[in-house]
Structures are given as C-alpha cells and as structure tokens.
Amino acid sequence: MMHILWNDQIVERGAVKIDIEDRGYQYGDGLYEVVRVYNGHLYMMEEHLNRLWDGAEKIRMQLPFTKEELTINLKKLVEIEGIKEGKLYFQVTRGIDAPRNHVLPDPEKVKGVLTANIRAYERPLQKMEEGITVAVVPDTRWLHCDIKSLSLLGNVLSLDDARRQGFDDAVLVRDDKVTEASAANFWVVKDGTVYTHPDGNLILPGITKKKILELARELNIPVKEEAVYEEELFTADECFVSGSLTEIVPVVKVNDHIIGTGKPGKVTKQLLEAYIASVDATCGTVGE
C-alpha cells in the first residue's frame, strides 16, 4: 500500500481526503516540486526547497511548514516506502476556501494543503544512449513560466501537439526564440559552445540546469545563457534536454532535420558523464 505525506502526517493513500473547494483543485492554485532520489538520498534538495519558497513568494502564498519540517517529513516518507531509486513528488496548494472566490484568501484564515508521494524510477538509459526527437511547437503558455505552478495545461497541450505528430517531445518557440521543452530545459551546442535560454519569466529555472552550468564551467566548456533562434536549431551540432528526472537526454532530430550525426554528441556525453559523477559523489554510486 502506497503511503502519502498529507500535511504533517504519513498515511495510506486511501486515507487522504481533498476538499472539493481546495484552491489547488479549483484553480491550480499551488506549487510543486519533483526531486530525484538516489540510494535513498534526496538529490539537490536544498535547491528544490529554495525554488519552492521563491515560487511561494511570487504567488503570495504562505507555506504551512518550515524547510526543516518539510525535509524531515519527506525523508520519513522515503524511508517508510523503502524506495532507493525513485522520484519524489510533492505539492502544496493554497488551501480550502469556501465558498469559491477568485480573491486571494486571508493567509491567516486559510492554511495550505501538502501532499507528497514517492515512486520507483530508474535512469532513462535508452533515451540517453539513443536520443529523442522533438517537434517545434509555438510557446503559447502564460508569462510566469518561472513559477513551478500546478497549472500545467499549456505544457500538457504542447507535449500532446508533438506526440500527435509522432515526436517524443516539443521544443517551444516564442517570438522566433527557443524557450524550453514541454517539461525540461533545452540546450543547443554550436562550434563547441553550449547555449541555453537565460532564467526569467519565460522559462523554469531548472535545478538540473543550474548543476549543468556549474559542470560546464568546471570542464572549461564555453557556455552562454542566451536564447537561440528557431532557425539555429537546424544548424546546431548537438541539442539536449535536462531535468531532475531526465538528467541529460540528447535530442537527435528536430522536426524532420537530423541533428549532427543523428547520435548523442561529444559535448552532451561529456556533460552527462560529469552529471552522473556528481550524483555518485553526493549520493553514492547508483546501482551498487
């Protein structure tokens, strides 16, 4: 039986009750994070918490716990479920406000609702070795993509647009510039330099992105946080996506255009090896 962290309790899934007037259910009014678990360790947990707190400030929501309290309870959940390699999902809504009202409720009267679960998850080795295909899709999402909001309909529809065309994912373009993938940051390698969209309101400030930028500098790989134009995708030497679950996955085809040799490129593989080494150094070698 799956266990769920529900506010400050760990209970069996069937015991969780979410009110029909919870603002997360009615408005998507809340935030979430997904943390990769390696050997029972929460990888880059501090960075995920910092992003959660930043998001809460941006949407004017008062979180009903401290970072220490949340971390303790999430670690308890991981321990109880006994999952060594997994993905930990947690979300917090603004809470229950009845009757339904668009106006933000008084934070002293409405308390946020937390839920969390962990599921087994393994590194996507086949995608890392073979790469994925992406379709260019217009980025029609809202203008607060830096907030990891529960409202993900724009992302879901963009992915569906790509899947309906027979591709694995979407690469989003706004005003002729590449922003990100449907649920991952997007990277382009050209003449040995790595490019990715700068943080701001048009993309999510990825936790894995932050680590990759650090690793690139350590490896003396030139990197620019600079948006590339859609047309530059088709002259790229390499492309890849990154995320907490994705880690680093090569992109070998954009629309009908083969990227590079059609196989994972040198820089992409170099960064992936460094990323895995960073995970192993922090959490212990995965699989041992």
Q: Give pLDDT tens digits for 171-208.
A: 999 999 999 999 999 999 999 999 999 999 999 999 99
What is the model's pLDDT at position 286?
Answer: 86
What does the pLDDT read at residue 1? 86
> pTM value?
0.96
Residue from 58, 67, 84, 148 carrying the catalytic annotation: 148
The mean-pLDDT minimum among 22-26, 104-108, 207-211 falls in 104-108
Quick check: is 224 catalytic?
Answer: no
pLDDT at 101: 95
What domains are there in the chain, each with its CATH number? 3-120 (3.30.470.10), 125-283 (3.20.10.10)
pLDDT of residue 190: 98
Mean pLDDT score of the chain, rounded to an integer?
Answer: 97
CA 92, distance to chain mean position in Å, is: 16
pLDDT of residue 287: 72
88 band by pLDDT with thresholds 50, 70 and 90: very high
| pLDDT of 288 strictly over 80 | no
